[in-house]
Amino acid sequence: MFSTLMTVMRGEVRKTERQFERQNAITILEQKIEDATSAQAQAKQRLAGLILKERNDTRTLTSLRGQASELETRIEKALKSDLTALAEDAAGHLARLERDIDRLEKSLARNQLAVERLRRLIDAGQTRLLELKQGLSTAQSVAAERRTTADLSGDITGIAALVEGERVLTDFLDQPDVFEQMEILEEINAESAPDGILDRLAAAGCGTPSPHASDTVLERIRSRIQDEKEQ
């Protein structure tokens, strides 16, 4: 009996809510359009920030690659001049540069993916926003007709258009939050970053060392010098 009573009460509450929404459809649509417009503006600001970061990272990456190339050339000259200690110090610096380049390349790739996804979300949101505005215009026309034909039956004053507008509004509100998706993506990327675990495993005999370690860099250059001498 209690369960049946609660079911009836929930049904009555929902019926009241729907009636309230129908009676205040214009106000609700106007507010939702305002909210959606604000969200679109925030998303565009976020996109602008991501694009700016991409450009800055690209400039930094170009600079680091140039430094690494110049440093490797100088290390080769130092080794040919038997300046081993100096070459070893430089190799350590080159290894750090190459690790920075590797991390920046991965960060740039993630940022580019985020830019592409956010662009698609903004485009889709803009299309839906325009449709919602058109629906509001229709609902406003229907409301005007109802005010001038208040003595007529509601069935001939455009109820179907209003119902369609409510359906569009419901679909719009059910969309996932753009910024929450972006935050989740950034958290996943941060959690999956390997950092130095591969180097520690390699040092313990589990797998090969990182190609950006200083010893590996130095050995690579020495091998190239030896190959040149043999030729």
- HSE-up (13 A, CA, CB side) for residue 80: 12
Nearest-angstrom CA–CA distance, 189 and 169: 34
DSSP string, 163-193: HHHHHHHHHHHTSPPHHHHHHHHHHHHHHH-
| Within a domain: 18 | no
- How many residues are recorded in the chain? 231
| Within a domain: 3 | no
Q: What is the pLDDT of residues 27-64, one digit of tens each?
A: 888 888 888 888 889 989 999 999 999 999 999 999 99
| Within a domain: 9 | no
Mean pLDDT, rounded, for 112-141: 88
| Within a domain: 156 | yes
| Within a domain: 152 | yes
Domain encompassing residue 41: 26-194
Q: What is the pLDDT of residues 162-205, one digit of tens each?
A: 667 667 667 666 666 655 666 655 555 544 445 455 555 555 66
Q: Which two tokens stand for residue 163?
A: 């119902």
| Stretch among 55-69, 131-145, 152-166 having the lowest mean pLDDT | 152-166
Q: Domain count of the chain?
A: 1
The candidate with the shortest Cα–Cα distance to 129, out of 25, 225, 35, is 35
Mean pLDDT, rounded, for 92-113: 93
| Within a domain: 11 | no
Neighbour tally for 149: CB within 10 Å: 13
- HSE-up (13 A, CA, CB side) for residue 30: 6
- HSE-up (13 A, CA, CB side) for residue 65: 10
Crossing angle for the helix pair 178-192 and 25-80, to the nearest 10 degrees: 30
H or E element that contains 228: helix 214-230
What pLDDT is attached to residue 179? Answer: 59
